[in-house]
Copies of this chain bind each other. A is one copy, B any other.
Amino acid sequence: MPEFNNVTIVKKANVYFDGKVTSRTVVFADGSQKTLGVMLPGEYEFNTADKELMEIMAGELEVLLPGTSEWKTVKGGESFEVPSHSKFGLKVRSLTDYCCSFLK
């Protein structure tokens, strides 16, 4: 799906790591939220509150999921899930365009 319809978008950007990771929050009619974001090359660690589904629309990165010790390559068109209340590591290899869904 190339677009989200009938949504609310928060104007203010979410900014992390000096702007190397930024996103905008999209709110759906059912109250669920996603963020659409861009990550520039670099290494990052994120904490989750909700469970997250990370869809990589474009780019390439490696992810270290909680409870694992091996970095896994993820490319545009692929996705991964992260449990709630955990942390995960990313090594972004090329500019990454992503959609993150917060799951209950």
How far is it, in angstroms, between the C-alpha of A7 and the C-alpha of B37 when the chains are bound?
18
- Residues of A whose CB lies within 8 Å of any CB of B are 1-13, 15, 18-19, 22, 24, 26-27, 36, 38, 40, 57-58, 95, 97, 99
This chain: copies in complex = 2
Chain B residue numbers with a CB within 8 Å of A97 are 12-13, 15
Q: Can you add 16 more A-B contacts, CB < 8 Å, to A7-B8, A9-B26, A15-B38?
A: A2-B11, A3-B8, A3-B9, A3-B10, A3-B27, A4-B8, A6-B7, A7-B9, A9-B9, A11-B99, A13-B57, A15-B95, A19-B95, A22-B22, A22-B38, A24-B36
Instruction: Tell me the nearest residue of chain B to A26, going by C-beta.
Output: B9
